[in-house]
């Protein structure tokens, strides 16, 4: 489906009549700002992924026993 220049101009004219030029400028600025922030976030994400993957966050604290070791059951010998 191909649009001719005349059809695109007609659609643009209808959009301008509906929303007005001031609102369209604001929307255009918002879309441009969103694209810029998305690109900068993508660049930051690529910089973080280039660090060594072996770097893990180590949380220091006191080691505790696992739950399986905290309960010990006694075996009953005289079960009838």
Reported as a single tens digit per residue, the pLDDT across 18-33 is 988 888 889 889 999 9
pLDDT value, residue 1: 73
pLDDT exceeds cutoff 90 at 8: yes
Q: How far apart are CA 11 and CA 44, in angstroms?
A: 38
Prediction pTM value = 0.41
User: Sign of dihedral through CA atoms 15, 21, 26, 32?
Assistant: positive
Q: How far apart are CA 74 and CA 77, in angstroms?
A: 9
């Amino acid at each position: 489906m191909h649009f001719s220049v005349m059809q695109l101009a007609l659609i643009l004219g209808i959009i301008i009549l509906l929303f007005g030029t001031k609102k369209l400028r604001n929307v255009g600025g918002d879309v441009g700002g969103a694209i810029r922030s998305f690109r900068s976030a993508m660049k930051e994400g690529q910089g973080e992924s280039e660090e060594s993957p072996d770097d893990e966050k180590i949380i220091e604290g006191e080691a505790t026993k696992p739950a399986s070791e905290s309960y010990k059951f006694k075996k009953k010998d005289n079960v009838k």
